[in-house]
Amino acid sequence: MTTRRADNHENVESFHLPGGNLLSAALDRQVMIWSDRGGASRHIGDRWAIRSDEALRNSVGRTWPVPHDEPFEILDILRLDDVAEVSREANLHHLENPDFLLLGTQSGDGGPVLQAVDAKFAPDRIRPSQVSAEIVSNLLQLGGAAHKIVVDAVAAHGLSTPRIVRGVFVSPDSQMSDVLLQRVTTGRRATVDRAEVVTIPPHPGSLFAGLPESRVIGALARIDALPVTPRDNLISAIYYFRLSCACFHFWG
């Protein structure tokens, strides 16, 4: 038998795959090098930001976590990564800037809070400083575009000045995330607190919809004929999307 499911339903073992299983194939160094020449990582990051935005907006009115603090109810999602002026100001002052700011009211005292959130498909690339309360405070103190976005939202909801709380990263609910997180949350060199990562359903079937490279994902997957498909398996979707990007790089 050439193909079988591994212990986790998301991973599959096959001699067709680099490293012998989907997870190893998706993280294969040579596959990543070739696919990134075709823009794979950029596309993955862009599409994950869109998926994160959808998930966050669907969470308005619901409770959201704060690492080692009281959770809060989300009132508004302020997206910063698509506001060019915010990035320009942050770069000018050598500041990191998160993809989103969440405005809400905390469960304990009902006081307003502001939290940074960053979409991070690969959680082993997390930099905790990017969503720290300090970085948000520094960004707002510039008095520029980010400050105006927050002030307008606070006024629209009739809130007082919000308390800035510790931020989080949004990553896929996937075995791939679990493996990558272990690299940065365990051992003496751990740099990330697991409480800083919130996972959401990845919706692999629609993640790359509309991109030219997505047109050959199905054809490539059918060659290997694994018992999972890119439509419902994130690791499969990532691996075959990367192969598609590599094909576009080599053959256009």
In a structure prediction context, what are the per-residue pLDDT tens digits for the chain, which is 252 residues long? 333 334 457 899 999 999 999 999 999 999 999 999 999 999 999 999 999 999 999 999 999 999 999 999 999 999 999 999 999 999 999 999 999 999 999 987 889 999 999 999 999 999 999 999 999 999 999 999 999 999 999 999 999 999 999 999 999 999 999 999 999 999 888 999 999 999 999 999 999 999 999 999 999 999 999 999 999 999 999 999 999 999 999 987
Q: Please give the model's pTM, rounded to 2 decimal places.
A: 0.92
H or E element, residue 68: none
pLDDT of residue 5: 36
Residue ranges of domains in the chain: 45-200, 203-247
Rounded Cα gap, residues 237 and 102, in angstroms: 29
Q: Select from 123, 239, 219 the least CA-distant residue to 179.
A: 123
Q: What angle do CA 220, 223, 228 make, to 5 degrees?
A: 80
Residues 170-208 as b/e (b if ≥16 CB within 10 A, e otherwise) read: bbbebbbbbbbbebbbeeeeeebeeebbbbbebbbeebb
The phi, psi pair for 94, rounded to 5°, reads 55, 45
Q: Which bin fits 75, alpha (ψ -120 to 50), beta or left (φ > 0)? A: alpha
Q: 100-106 and 69-79 as β-strands: parallel, antiparallel, unpaired? A: antiparallel
